Each structure stands twice: as structure tokens, then as C-alpha cells.
């Protein structure tokens, strides 16, 4: 599991009980900041590093679907990323879904915030410009946001929507391709014209045979079934070729 790279298991006991800053100094200001939503590949997760460590670190997660579960870890002083130490928040979705992450803390001094993705394949996120940071062999932290904050004695709240994508891959189908719209319409019209021509010939032939008393009731039943089958094929062709009349 990627979480081993952050050594949470060795520091978890101390992580979940951070210092209560309210008893140490008076908060002068509060700031709320919303980050853009994050989309994770299956098996990856998000982490937030706060350097130097902050006070009264807390985090909550609100799944959009109550059936979605997650693991949440707080570390008050994580030293494997840099010698100065960092407060660390790690949120690990247990499966595909969308989660609203909220992190609150109090800063006593200026700090640097790094928020991003922990992954074993950072090349899967070519749209992110952040430089990958090695956490362990084959495990990287890919920053999405790196910002410095100068406000002292300030309470911060950071929120972000996190969506983990499914690992399910679509099953290839012989009909999974898409025709260009003009080609689709042309093929559809040709198929429809041929079917209608056959139906028109059969109906016309049956009608004249009825005039000469050569057409039976069974033949007319067959004609009706043929027309119904033709309409079914035309309808099926519309769906297959993606033809829409709107």
C-alpha cells in the first residue's frame, strides 16, 4: 500500500492528538480557501504538507455518497520530506467516489503549503505541472498546489473536492467505433431505402395478387411481419450508427 511510504503507521499515535494552539496564543484572523477539485486514478490518494508544523491540526471528510468510505491520517511532525518537519494530512479513498476534504489549523508563523497526489505513476497526470518528489522507491508526491502564507496567528480552513476514478475499463466491442455524422446518415439512409424498397415490392405484389384472388390471409400476415421487422431493423440501425433526428 502506498501509505507505507509516508510511515504513518509509526507516527499515527502521536499524529491524531495535535497541540491545542488556543491555549498558547490568541488567534488574530481566520481565512477560508477553496482549492480546485482533484481527480485521482484508482489506488492513488491526496496529501497535504504544512511546513513548518502548524497547531491544532484537524481534518474532516464528507463523502458525497454515504456508502463511500475512506482512511484519514494526521501527523503533527513528519520529518521524512524535509529536516524542518511538516504537519501532514493524508486522505485515502477506499474506492471510486467523490469526497469533500476540509483541513483546519492555526499558524503561528509563515508557512508553506503543498497539496497534491501520492502515486506510483506520476506520468498518469501529464496535465499537472508540479515536479514529483520521491517519498520512497517507486512512490512520488506530485504537488498540485504549492503556496506560501505570511499571516501570523491565523486560523486557516482549506477545502477541496476529491474524486477517485474507477479502475474498470470498458470492454471492447465490435461496434464501439463511431462513424462521422455524415457517413452514419448516408449508411442509415441506404439501409433504410433498401429495406423500404423490398417491403414496397412485397406489399405491391401481394396487393395485385389479391386483386386476382391469388393472395391468401397467411401471405398478408407474412407481409405485416415483414414490415414490422423492417421497422425494427431501421430503429436498431439508428442506435448503432448514432443517427438522431432532433
pLDDT at 150 (0 to 100): 86
Contact 173, 49 (CB under 8 A): no
pLDDT at 246 (0 to 100): 53
pLDDT at 26 (0 to 100): 66
| Closest C-alpha among 113, 200, 199 to residue 157 | 113
pLDDT at 61 (0 to 100): 93
Question: Domain coordinates of the chain in residue numbers?
Answer: 2-164, 181-241
Report residue 79's pLDDT band, with 50, 70 and 90 as the boundaries: confident
Please count the helices (runs of H) and the strands (runs of E) in the chain: 3, 11
Q: What is the mean pLDDT of the chain?
A: 78
- Tens of pLDDT along 84-107? 789 999 999 988 889 999 999 988
Contact 144, 121 (CB under 8 A): no
- Tens of pLDDT along 142-167? 999 899 998 777 888 999 999 888 66
Return the SS3 of 25: coil
Amino acid at each position: 500500500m502506498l501509505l507505507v511510504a509516508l510511515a504513518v503507521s509509526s507516527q499515527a499515535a502521536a499524529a491524531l492528538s495535535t497541540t491545542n494552539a488556543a491555549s498558547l496564543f490568541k488567534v488574530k484572523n481566520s481565512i477560508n480557501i477553496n482549492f480546485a477539485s482533484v481527480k485521482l486514478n484508482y489506488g492513488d490518494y491526496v496529501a497535504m504538507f504544512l511546513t513548518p508544523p502548524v497547531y491544532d491540526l484537524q481534518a474532516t471528510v464528507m463523502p458525497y455518497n454515504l456508502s463511500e468510505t475512506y482512511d484519514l491520517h494526521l501527523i503533527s511532525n513528519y520529518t521524512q520530506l524535509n529536516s524542518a518537519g511538516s504537519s501532514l494530512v493524508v486522505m485515502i479513498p477506499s474506492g471510486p467516489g467523490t469526497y469533500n476534504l476540509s483541513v483546519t489549523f492555526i499558524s503561528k508563523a509563515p508557512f508553506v503549503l503543498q497539496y497534491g497526489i501520492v502515486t506510483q505513476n506520476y506520468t498518469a497526470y501529464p496535465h499537472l505541472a508540479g515536479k514529483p518528489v520521491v517519498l520512497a522507491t517507486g512512490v512520488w508526491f506530485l504537488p498540485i498546489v504549492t503556496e506560501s502564507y505570511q499571516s501570523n496567528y491565523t486560523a486557516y480552513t482549506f477545502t477541496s473536492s476529491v474524486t477517485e476514478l474507477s479502475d474498470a475499463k470498458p470492454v471492447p466491442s465490435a461496434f464501439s467505433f463511431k462513424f462521422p455524422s455524415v457517413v452514419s446518415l448516408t449508411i442509415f439512409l441506404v439501409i433504410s431505402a433498401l429495406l423500404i424498397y423490398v417491403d414496397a415490392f412485397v406489399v405491391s405484389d401481394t396487393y395485385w395478387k389479391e386483386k386476382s384472388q391469388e393472395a391468401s390471409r397467411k401471405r398478408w400476415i407474412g407481409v405485416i411481419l415483414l414490415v414490422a421487422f423492417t421497422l425494427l431493423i431501421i430503429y436498431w440501425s439508428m442506435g448503432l450508427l448514432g443517427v438522431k433526428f432532433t
